[in-house]
Amino acid sequence: MKKVLFATGNESKAKRFSKGLQEKGIEVMTLKDINTDIEVEENGKNAMENSILKARAYSKVTNIPVFAMDDNLYLENVPEEKQPGMYVRRVNGKRRNDEEMIEFYSRNINTFYKKPLS
């Protein structure tokens, strides 16, 4: 089976891709699997550029093919200046895990909108 590194610390994101790729004979490894985590400055202009930065950085320190994927969050009817965009996990300078991210957006959803949701 061929191996590929998914340059993400997000285990739930990795699980979403693993099953389909395994059916194609590709084993998806994560940063946890290789016990490696390097600090990659995600200073791209968008999610695509940040993905490329991560893939290239991990490619330099591993000997296996690497892919990366970043997400954006767009909330309909929310002013542009309040959009999380590509910083969906980074809130007030802190990187959030899945549970913290869901808690933050659930607790603060009304503050994003011009009018509170009913």
Active site residues: 70
Query: Are the C-beta atoms of residues 68 and 56 closer than 8 Å to each other?
Result: no
Q: Which residues contact 117 (CB under 8 A, 6 or more apart)?
A: 109, 110
CB 98 within 8 A of CB 10: yes
